[in-house]
Structure 1
């Protein structure tokens, strides 16, 4: 049975060496160990199809496999563990697309608001992407002036901060958080779902016609502080800490700060909500063309499930948004999430574990109108 140290070592390899986002790495540790791929050397001896069956994204699967081979090769040549030092490279967060085109490229499945369908739907997932979906929808009501790109970035920031805190509480990570050591000091702070997130203001980012932008703000209600915010990026303080600068309070341009990118958050959420039958059933090897068709069907099923989940969350938040302030809505959101999150084993054993989420449970949290 894997020990806490085994889990910690594998998680460190995925997140630090293979550069897999921490929240995603958490969700894959248990699957890798179940498949007999609990160490870099075991992963290195595997093949791309085996890795891809776990990570689904071919690019990330190749990244994990190639890193495992490189790390294993270095360790074979020396008795001392190999430590991969992050390369200092110039990171760019810009896009050749215009703001409206960027927002369009991030489009998610349309939320399904059919209560009959939602009440019968169950999705199979782990907790991190559920937090992401919850925050993504919550921000529409608490910060209505934020475009989809900002909502994705901010939601991923909340997931990462929450995952880091959980990892520390389980003993899988140690040391102070980046914000506790002063990284990001001087950057604005935004409190979302009970978590304080350092943000970067995107001055001049006009993502739709100004008259439409003004109308969306005016219709949002709530406190003026939220409405006056320009579009935001969530700042990745842990990445800033690992790169060792160069930004310090009062120096350099904030454009050099690493951020949680909208496209990576979108890719993560699109592939995270399966159906219980699809996720739990074992399948026999099939010819390449049949396998390709099956994979396409799984992708379509997950995107459909995301639309259903987003619809249920919309109905929940809509029901309360008319009587609660934005601050009150934000305060209540974590409690709602806790009540509907998938059940997993306690402690380290449940790290990254998956379970069922009944959308009927989300609908049951809606405000009951009195007559």
Structure 2
């Protein structure tokens, strides 16, 4: 079975048929022997061969029905895009949501702030969302073929892995990680911020499907401005399809609890929501004394957080852009982690913990464009 066909089959089983990825991987060889190499083959098969493979009539029916739905609605988004599709269907519940609409709904704020404005800005956040912001932005340059849905998913996978490492170092968790126990073995690996991430390839997903002919890509989709063709063409990028970051801990947990259908990828929607809530503009002690934050509406607070996110991403983007022409993608990825360590949040009592909020001065990020980090 070709690699592309294998990944497509695994994606179908884990996302469309809601089969735990570990189970799906264990059944691939049996499906192959039965001549069931893709959803179309499965949809045309009888129930009995599937029941023999999955050892359970209920599971076999679920896989068969999912394959039939897949054949009828190839353009339908995967289950992991549910939140995004709700937004696009708000005005027309019967409309078919295209991948292009999904990607547009996931766009993150892009600030037009000048360098001077950024230099005078201080934000409040903690370490995890700052890692997320660095990863999402760096991936624009190290994997420019990846759509925003994939970049958010991969970035969240990095945050999740780092969070567990931090929990282990603090004694909050013990034992081997899911990856150390072999979960996800055999899946492709990519490196983000120096950390290896297990991924699923989305061979059947084209983020440009449904794009109106007169629609022009803009910076709001978080694409690098240096090469639109490079960003949207998988062929030009060596055939690398959009990716999902696999949630190995969720995979292990769902298998231990005997659950089916749990998400075993890091969803783009969840990553974006986390990012949009995690930053706030820092108010100096002598500012806003006559205005209580409690008087602000939820909409005003959300707008302020969105502004803060846009400013942070803008500063990181300027940093990456300044080095992109002189560093290889591998070196840029490696440097990015060192840059993050240089600017991670701090508090008066010392370095902020993973879950503690501290100040981040955007001037510190911009300064790294001109001085080599101590790596």
TM-score, normalised by the number of residues in structure 2: 0.63
State the secondary structure of the residue aligned to 2:340.
helix
Structure 1 residues not aligned, in runs of 5+: 1-88, 248-254
> Residue 121 of structure 2 contacts residue 362 of structure 2 at CA under 8 Å; is this kept in 1?
yes
**1:111, CA displacement in angstroms?**
3.1
Q: Which residue of structure 2 lines up, in the alignment, with residue 204 of structure 1?
A: 204
Q: Are residue 235 (structure 1) and residue 246 (structure 2) matched?
A: yes
Is structure 2 residue 276 aligned with structure 1 residue 270? yes
**SS of match in other structure, 2:180:** helix
SS at match of 1:200: strand
Q: Secondary structure at the match of 1:244?
A: helix
Cα distance 1:101–1:282, how it changes in 2: closer, same or farther (>3 A)? Answer: same
Q: Structure 2 stretches of 5 or more lacking a match? A: 1-61, 64-77, 86-96, 218-222
In structure 2, the partner of 1:93 is 80
* 1:118 to 2:118 alignment: yes
Question: Contact 1:136–1:152 at 8 Å: present in 2 too?
Answer: yes
Query: What does residue range 3-42 of structure 1 map to in structure 2 within 5 Å?
Result: none
Question: Please, what is the CA RMSD of the aligned residues?
Answer: 3.7
Q: Note the C-alpha offset of 1:226.
A: 6.5
Using the TM superposition, give the Cα deviation of residue 261 of structure 1 relative to its aligned residue in structure 2, in angstroms: 0.5
Look up the match of 1:152: 152
Return the offset for 1:257: 6.7
- CA drift of 1:216 comes to 3.7
Distance 1:302 1:280, change over 3 A: farther
Q: How many residues align?
A: 267
Shift of 1:277: 2.6
Q: For residues 267 and 219 of structure 1, do their structure 2 counterparts lie closer, same or farther at Cα, with a shift above 3 Å needed?
A: closer
> How far off its partner does 1:98 sit?
1.3
Report the Cα distance in structure 2 between the residues aligned to 1:279 and 1:182, rounded to whole angstroms.
50
Provide the rounded CA distance (Å) in 2 between the counterparts of 1:362 and 1:192: 19
Change (3 A) 1:117 1:168: same
Distance 1:152 1:195, change over 3 A: same
Alpha-carbon distance in 2 for matches of 1:356, 1:313 = 16
User: Displacement of 1:266 after TM fit?
Assistant: 0.5
Verify the 8 A CA contact 1:125 1:354 in the aligned structure 2: yes
Q: CA contact under 8 A between 1:144 and 1:217: conserved in structure 2?
A: no
Contact 1:113 1:315 in 2 (8 A): no
Q: Highest CA radius of gyration, 1 or 2? A: 2
> Whole-Å Cα distance in 2 between the matches of residues 276 and 368 of structure 1?
26
Give TM-score scaled by structure 1 length: 0.64
